[in-house]
Chain A
Amino acid sequence: MRHPVLGFVVMIAAASLLILPLSAHHEITAKFDPAKTTRLQGIVTYVDWANPHVHIFMNVGTGASMANWAVELESVIDLQKAKYTRDTVKPGDSLTVEGIAARDGSRQVWGNTVTLAGKRIFNVPEETVNRAPGGPTPRWPDGKPRLGPAPTTTGLAATGYWARPSMTILAENGTNIRANKNGLLANIADAPKVAPFQPWAKDLFELRQRNRLADDPQYLYCLPPGGPRQFQEAYGVQFVEDKDHQRIFVFVGGVDHNWRLIYLDGREQVGQIRGDADNPLYYGRAVAKWEGDALVVDTKGFNEKFWFSNGGLPHTDKLRLIERFTRVDANTLKYEVNIDDTGAYTRSWSSGWNLQWVAGEELPAFYCQDNRP
């Protein structure tokens, strides 16, 4: 019914000016209640300038009623990108904070607006994503697409990485599931449609969703984002193609700035030399080959201690992934994944999304473990 050309134009317009929400790296509504709006005035006592989230402590009230509150803000990475530093506020400064309070009644608030001496600070602007296609796919001398940056002519090292996934939940192709950037469903009734779940897996997925992702191992324990999730992270991924050794490193910007190894040297998909024997891994064992312009990666041998997607889709150690990476133009990496896990799903199924090239920037070095004891 829809006019095909007009429909296409509308889709491009919508896709090319997508406004992302604030970039808290995990689901803040797990801890804070958006209904509990709170305004505080206080004197700063301590600044905990650490990832994943900065905390500013301040004394609120006077005399016997004075209490110390924790104001939680965005990550160091995001605040520094917006040109704030650990010296932006100092102990003794007087702050006004508007935000939302913790669900558990503790003296913690997520700071939506922070004001120092009449001036708003710690304001992380919303990111505008332009999904316009780029120039031709850069290539190696052997003709294969480059998954990393092309060398510069300036003498400086080439930089750039992939981020801003066009889909932030792992949902089967053909579904139209709305979720926020952490994979929290807009409508919990959509849960059964996300994937061909076995009953227990659907129940577990719904439980994780109803808990607002509070049990996320990546958030609680800084555990690695194996599987498709590493391509849904807020701080992106970088490919380093080590042609000499026929292997590709995938560097993860967030979580704990991990590396994953993909071998193209024809090895069998078994334990590593002097390494893991048959123990299951967070990143699994990945072997790959090129099929035309697509890098096809076959990975198995996963453990079950992590969430392999935003939003908490379950998986088992039977999980096997076939991932296809196609750099369709300089700015666009097409990611396709087939999920075969007879432990959690009734059949194999597929999903995919696009990643956008972040030119000329270094992959952020975010360490979730930073503010742990």
Chain B
Amino acid sequence: MRHRALGSACILVLALGPLGFGQAAAQGPGGQGRGSQNAGQGLPAAPAAAGAQPAGARGAAPAAPAKPTPRRSDGKPMLGTTPGEPALWLPAGGGGERFVNADTADPSPDKMRISELPIQPWARALLDYRLENQLEPHTRCKPSGGPRQFLTPYGVEIVEVPDLKQIIIMDLGGPHTYRVIYMDGRPHPADLQPTYYGHSTGKWDGDTLVIDTVGFNEKFWIDRQGTPHTEKLHMTERLTRTDYNTIKYVVTIDDPGAYTKPWTSGFNFRWTANSELFEYVCQDNNYAPELMVGAQEFVDRTSKIVP
């Protein structure tokens, strides 16, 4: 079993190549090879610019200056793709991108480091546990909202549907799902039940799309290393397409359940041309029933009922 898992990981690493090992490990469901072809199917060749660079140079600016921000007919920045020019948004730093940096990273005005978080003691203890154990729900095919949605190695497409007054974010990694942002001015419902993506409303503030989300459940991590949150999380995301190749993504975490005050961090998305939505299904390698009956003791589960 171990060997099969290792083999599967190796295939992923080889195929992902310049995108890095961290994402491979985080992308798969931790499975043992059943139907691994789907995990391999979507493996994109790296974009030409990044492909020639060593892993550490991901996110470096392209050689030519970026074109200006494309705009829609109403003047707002286009967050989706220009028809005929398919592309995806990937984290600028690839699989190494973080929403919150390790303390070994250089200080940055745009990104928190772990020790700078205004975190409550219980949440810090939980974060330390997660950093040590890395049992992330995303790797077990759970939808994962917040910044985590944008931190997968396959990226996302942002689809603007003016006819429906919605912006839809299509996930490539994970369980092949999507998140809806309502642009029609509606309020959050009063009787919201917690969900993976929460309830999102958006509006334009100049050239910035501001998304307000509440109603998260606690069954996923908001980023790759396990920065904690609770159901009290109120998240504000600000997306600004600063040039053709870049969205600046700034997130304010207001969660009195886990932090002593609101805090803000973020990262950039990188335009990845000549790429488009494809079918990746995390469950392709789903061993959940075996996990549920306790065959693999490292996965903690309260109920061992199938399914």
Binding site for B on A (CB under 8 A): 46, 48, 52-53, 55, 57, 70, 72, 76, 80, 85-86, 108, 148-149, 151, 155-158, 219-224, 240-246, 249, 251, 256-259, 261, 272-277, 279, 281-283, 303, 305, 365, 367-373
- Nearest chain B CB to A154 CB, angstrom units: 9
Additional 4 contacts, C-beta under 8 A, given A72-B305, A259-B176, A274-B275? A219-B307, A257-B177, A273-B275, A281-B279
B132 sits at the interface (CB 8 A): no
Chain A residues whose CB sits within 8 angstroms of the CB of B163 once the complex forms: 148, 151, 158, 241, 243
In the docked arrangement, what's the CA distance between A258 and B171, Å? 10
- Beta-carbon contact of A282 and B279 below 8 Å: yes
Docked Cα-Cα span, A16 to B7, in Å, equals 55
B68 at interface, CB cutoff 8 A = no
Give A240's nearest chain B residue, CB to CB: B161
Q: When the two chains form their complex, are residues A149 and B164 in contact, meaning their CB atoms are under 8 A apart? A: yes
Q: Quick check: A272 and B164 within 8 Å, CB to CB?
A: no
B177 partner residues in chain A, CB cutoff 8 A: 256-259, 367
Q: Quick one: given A72-B305, A155-B185, A240-B161, are A259 and B178 in contact (CB under 8 Å)? A: yes
Contact indicator A55/B284 (Cβ below 8 Å):
no
The answer on a CB contact under 8 Å between A369 and B175 is: yes
Contact A156 B143 (CB under 8 A): no
Give which listed residue, B42, B142, B286, B299, contacts A223 with CB less than 8 A: B286
Contact B274 A279 (CB under 8 A): no
- A-binding segment of B240-248, B254-262, B288-296: B288-296
- Return the contact of B301 from the options A57, A273, A373 (Cβ within 8 A): A373
A301 to chain B, nearest CB (A): 10
Contact partner of A52 (CB less than 8 A), chosen from B141, B176, B299, B307, is B307
Q: Bound complex: CA of A222 vs CA of B29, how far in Å?
A: 13
Query: Given contacts A224-B176, A246-B83, are A279 and B41 in contact (CB under 8 A)?
Result: yes
B180 CB to nearest chain A CB (Å): 8
Cβ contacts under 8 Å, B186 to chain A: 156-157
Decide if B274 touches A274 in the complex (CB within 8 Å): yes
- Which of B81, B195, B274, B284 has the largest number of chain A CB atoms within 10 A? B284
Q: Which of B86, B184, B185, B292 contacts A372 (CB 8 A)?
A: B292
Quick one: given A155-B185, A272-B278, A365-B195, are A57 and B303 in contact (CB under 8 Å)? yes
Interface membership of B219, Cβ < 8 A: yes
The answer on a CB contact under 8 Å between A55 and B279 is: no
Q: 18 A-B contacts, Cβ less than 8 Å apart?
A: A70-B303, A76-B193, A148-B164, A151-B163, A155-B184, A223-B284, A249-B159, A256-B141, A256-B175, A275-B278, A367-B142, A367-B143, A370-B142, A371-B307, A372-B141, A372-B142, A372-B286, A373-B292
A371 CB contacts on chain B under 8 angstroms:
303, 307
Option from B178, B276, B288 in Cβ contact (under 8 Å) with A369: B288
B168→A157 contact, CB < 8 A? no
Contact at B302–A108, with CB atoms within 8 Å? no
- Interface assignment of B123: CB less than 8 Å from any CB of chain A: no
Least CB distance from A260 to B in Å reads: 9
Closest 5 pairs (CB-CB, A-B): A275-B278, A372-B288, A279-B41, A274-B44, A157-B165
- Report if B281 contacts A (CB, 8 A): yes
What is the minimal beta-carbon distance from A346 to any residue of chain B, in angstroms? 29
- Please give me the residue from chain B that is nearest to A257 by CB atom: B177
- Determine if B86 and A242 form an interchain contact, defined as CB atoms under 8 angstroms apart: no
Q: Compute how far the CA of A275 lies from the CA of B277 in the bound complex, rounded to whole angstroms.
A: 8
Bound Cα distance A55, B304 (Å): 11
Which one of B168, B185, B193, B283 contacts A221 once the chains associate, using CB atoms below 8 Å? Answer: B283
Q: Which residues of A contact B176 (CB under 8 A)?
A: 224, 256, 258-259
Instruction: Chain A residues near B182: list those with CB within 8 A.
Output: 157
| Contact A275 B276, beta carbon cutoff 8 Å | yes
Q: How far is the CA of A160 from the CA of B35 in the complex (A)?
A: 35
Cβ of A51 to closest chain B Cβ, rounded Å: 10
What B residues does A245 contact at CB under 8 A? Answer: 81, 83
Q: How far, in whole Å, are A219 and B283 apart by their CA atoms in the complex?
A: 12
Using A245-B83, A282-B281 as known contacts, say yes or no to A273 and B292 having CB atoms under 8 A apart.
Answer: no
* Interface check B37, CB cutoff 8 A: yes
Give Cα A273 to B276, complex, Å: 6
Q: Is B184 in contact with A305, judged by CB distance below 8 angstroms?
A: no
Q: Does B263 contact A (CB under 8 A)?
A: no
Q: Verify if B183 is at the interface (C-beta below 8 Å from A).
A: yes
A156 to B182, CA, bound (A): 9
Q: A365 to chain B: which residues have CB within 8 Å? A: 195, 197
Cross-chain contact A221 with B288 (CB below 8 angstroms): yes
On chain B, the residues within 8 Å of A275 by CB distance are 41-42, 44, 276, 278-279
B11 proximal to A (CB < 8 A): no
B41 engages A277 (CB within 8 Å): yes
Contact of A46 among B40, B183, B302 (CB under 8 A): B302
* Residue in A closest to B197 when the chains form the complex, CB atoms: A365
Choice from A241, A368, A373 contacting B140 with Cβ under 8 Å:
A373
A262 to B141, CA, bound (A): 24
Q: Is B45 an interface residue, CB under 8 A from the partner? A: yes
Quick one: given A48-B302, A157-B166, A259-B176, are A373 and B41 in contact (CB under 8 Å)?
no
Chain B residue at minimum C-beta to C-beta distance from A258: B176
A249 to B160, CA, bound (A): 13
Given contacts A48-B303, A244-B83, contact A372 B140 (CB under 8 A): yes
Closest beta carbon of chain B to A215's beta carbon, Å = 11
**B244 smallest CB distance to A (angstroms):** 18
Chain A nearest CB: distance from B30 CB in Å? 10
Does B69 interact with chain A (Cβ within 8 Å)?
Answer: no
Report the Cα distance A322→B272, complex, angstroms.
33
Query: What residues on A are CB-neighbors of B303 within 8 Å?
Result: 46, 48, 55, 57, 70, 371
**Known contacts A274-B45, A275-B44, A372-B288; is-contact A256 B283 (Cβ 8 Å):** yes
Chain B residues within an 8 Å CB radius of A273: 86, 274-276, 278
